[in-house]
Structure 1
Amino acid sequence: MKIAFFTETFLPKVDGIVTRLTKTIESLTKAGDEVVVFCPEGCPNEYMGAKVIGVPAMPLPLYPELKLGLPGAAVSDALDELKPDLIHVVNPAVLGLGGIWLAKTNGIPLVASYHTHLPKYLEHYGMGMLEPLLWELLKAAHNQAILNLCTSSAMVKELSEKGIQNTELWQRGVDTETFRPELRNDDMRKKLLGKFTDTGSLLIYVGRLSAEKQIERIKPVLEKIPEARLALVGDGPYRNQLEKIFENTATTFVGYLSGNALASAYASGDAFLFPSSTETLGLVLLEAMAAGCPVVGANKGGIPDIITDGVNGCLYNPDAKNDGTESLVKATQKLLGNENERKIMRNAARLEAEKWGWSSATEQLRGFYKKILEKSDNQIAA
């Protein structure tokens, strides 16, 4: 198959969407598929056998790490050269809309996928009143596609309720070879603890430091559990505010980690806290679980697809009083409270992650593609 991806997010940016996309591309090219990726400029020219074409882009004002690509004649020319069997638009925005238009004008089957819950992000930037309008725009874009893929059952349900048609679940995936319990080590643990003593209650967060991640919700946990220590791994536009919020708490700002260092950080924590209630999936949770770190996450969005409460982690209710503060504290206390139970959860977390390799997720995707192309060929023949 020849597949063209249009994505607003790609390397060198690192996040859950880019991880899923790069792992998917790697699996597709290994299977013999020809892949081209259209994404914002600043990208590599090639990735794992796929051609990557950068287009002029400008940063989104409220989310500067996200660049909106502006498709031009070069995109159309490259598409004519490849003659793809199928176009897959990832999180359609400006560049994605160009991909949709090119699919429609050239009669190329179109798939879209939904990864970032942008309507829910708006309220964290003081723009909640625009949520209904954004849903209408998303509906108009996604309903151009033959198939709309979501990364959790909750998102399949919500998008369907909002009027987005032809939705299917694109199963989760995680790299269980990179992220594994054996990478737990004392040197990384000391790095995560910073200047603080090791009490056996090291909480870690990995991800973008931004308003919609609701990281400030962890502060009451530190106040209620004095022996707890917190390591924030990652960076982002909200870091300065978070440094003020967590001032005088046992918190270490670690910055970005990648590769083995990141895998070791996951494995070296006692519990992974992820307070965000806007996640379509929460890939970092799966990575933590693969590393044998039990997790606490919100009982909302795609997270309940991953966490079985009390088995491989703990869920908290983000809609309870005081932004779920009491619920988050109790869930963390439950996870930290008994070393034997936490060990059982560690093992269960790893076993859950082992079910979800990237190769099987990509084979599922290839199955979707093949069905669409077979249906398209039958329609042409008729």
Structure 2
Amino acid sequence: MRIALFTEVFLPKVDGVVTRVTRTLEQLEQLGHTALVFAPGDPPERFGAHQVVRTRSWSFPWYPEIMVGTPTPRIAREMRAFRPDIVHAVNPVWLAAYGVLSARRRNLPLLASFHTDVPSYTTAIGGGLQVLRAPVQTWTTALHNLAEVNLCTSRQMVDRAREVGIHDVDLWPKAVDTVGYHPRRRSREMRERLTGGHPDAPLALYVGRLSREKNLVQLLEPLRRLQGYGVRLALVGSGPGRSELEAVFAGTPTVFPGYLGGEDLAAAYASADVFAFPSTTETLGLVALESMASGVPVVGADAGGIPFAVEDGRTGFLVTPGDVEGWTDRLRALLTDPQLRARMGGQARADAEEHSWQAATESLVRSYEVALERHAGRRPMHRALRARG
């Protein structure tokens, strides 16, 4: 199968969406499929066997890390030369929205995947973007409803998509790398780094963007309350909110190691005692799955897609957003009870082992086939239009 994949984010940016896209591309290659990737920013020219087409882009003012892709004549040329069987629009808002319109104009089957609740982000980021929530929701719903199949990465987001009027919604199963992320990556050297030189202290870890929508300030008061136990916090990552967070957490035992990748990131996960994840805007929370694969239990917000990743009381704890007592109690329970931590960490690892990237990608390919079938029977004139075009 030949897949034209339009994505709003790609390498060298690293986040949960990019990880899913790149892992999926690896598996598609192994399964014998070919993709043509359209991406903003400064991506590599190829990813494995797949060609990557760089599109014109500009930096999003409220979030400089995000490059907004815009259409160019090259896209049409590359689409004609590639002759895709299907278009996959990854989180259509800007560039991937053009992918949706391109699929419809060319009478191609279309699958759209929902990875980021962009309307909710406009509220969480602030800065006057709140007024855009309603029009952004209308825009994204309309785009998704042009697709034969819409996929979400958690059951909670399937429900959310249906609530806002998106049709033909199904689940793209969760997946995680259980080879790269493993308990054996635990390192005293990394604990030294993440604890600011106190490797024997209890360590809570966060990995991801440092930005307002991640709700990291909710960890401040629990951290203060746990100082009698010597708890330390590491916020790994980068983003537009780093300087603000450094000011907020000043005077607390919090370390900002910056961005980590590869073996360093795997060591960071495995070297923590608990993963703290207060974000309420996740559609899945891949970092929670990576922590679980590393044998580290999660304390996460009972919101968005996190409950799809974390089983409360088994692989970690879920806490009502804003519940300071709840956050403090759950973090204390895991950070001060080695037996509970080991039991939950072991169960988290076992759960992660059941969700491979190959299985998730095979499910995606089946969804491509459904989109092809639905498109073929959608309107009789489709085949005639395609023959003329």
- State the TM-score, normalized to the length of structure 1: 0.96
Please name the residue that 2:124 is paired with.
124
Alignment of 1:1-382 (within 5 A): 1-126=1-126, 127-195=129-197, 197-226=198-227, 227-318=230-321, 323-377=322-376
Secondary structure in structure 2 of the residue aligned to 1:148:
strand
Question: Residue 157 of structure 1 aligns to which amino acid in structure 2?
Answer: D
Query: Does the 8 Å contact 1:23/1:358 carry over to 2?
Result: yes
Deviation of 1:133 after TM superposition, in Å, equals 2.1
Segments of structure 1 that go 5 or more residues without pairing to the other structure are none
Question: Residue 160 of structure 2 aligns to which amino acid in structure 1?
Answer: E
Query: Does the 8 Å contact 1:199/1:228 carry over to 2?
Result: no
Secondary structure in structure 1 of the residue aligned to 2:280:
coil
Query: Does the 8 Å contact 1:112/1:145 carry over to 2?
Result: yes
Q: Distance in 2 between matches of 1:21 and 1:290?
A: 19
Query: Does the 8 Å contact 2:278/2:301 carry over to 1?
Result: yes
Deviation of 1:362 after TM superposition, in Å, equals 0.1
Q: Distance in 1 between matches of 2:170 and 2:328?
A: 35
Question: Residue 83 of structure 1 aligns to which amino acid in structure 2?
Answer: R
- State the TM-score, normalized to the length of structure 2: 0.94
Secondary structure in structure 2 of the residue aligned to 1:113:
strand
Query: Does the 8 Å contact 1:295/1:314 carry over to 2?
Result: yes
Percent of pairs with identical residues: 42
Q: Distance in 2 between matches of 1:94 and 1:266?
A: 33
Question: Residue 45 of structure 1 aligns to which amino acid in structure 2?
Answer: E
Q: Distance in 2 between matches of 1:262 and 1:125?
A: 26
Question: Residue 66 of structure 1 aligns to which amino acid in structure 2?
Answer: I
Please name the residue that 2:387 is paired with.
none
Question: Residue 150 of structure 2 aligns to which amino acid in structure 1?
Answer: N
Deviation of 1:132 after TM superposition, in Å, equals 2.2
Query: Does the 8 Å contact 1:200/1:270 carry over to 2?
Result: no
Q: Distance in 1 between matches of 2:12 and 2:44?
A: 8
Deviation of 1:100 after TM superposition, in Å, equals 1.2
Query: Does the 8 Å contact 2:148/2:374 carry over to 1?
Result: no
Question: Residue 305 of structure 1 aligns to which amino acid in structure 2?
Answer: F
1:20-68: per-residue Cα shift (whole Å, max 9, x none)?
0000001001111111000114110000110000011011111221111
Query: Does the 8 Å contact 1:68/1:93 carry over to 2?
Result: no
1:116-154: per-residue Cα shift (whole Å, max 9, x none)?
111111222333343222211111111111111101111
Query: Does the 8 Å contact 1:153/1:302 carry over to 2?
Result: yes
Secondary structure in structure 1 of the residue aligned to 2:313:
coil
Secondary structure in structure 2 of the residue aligned to 1:314:
strand
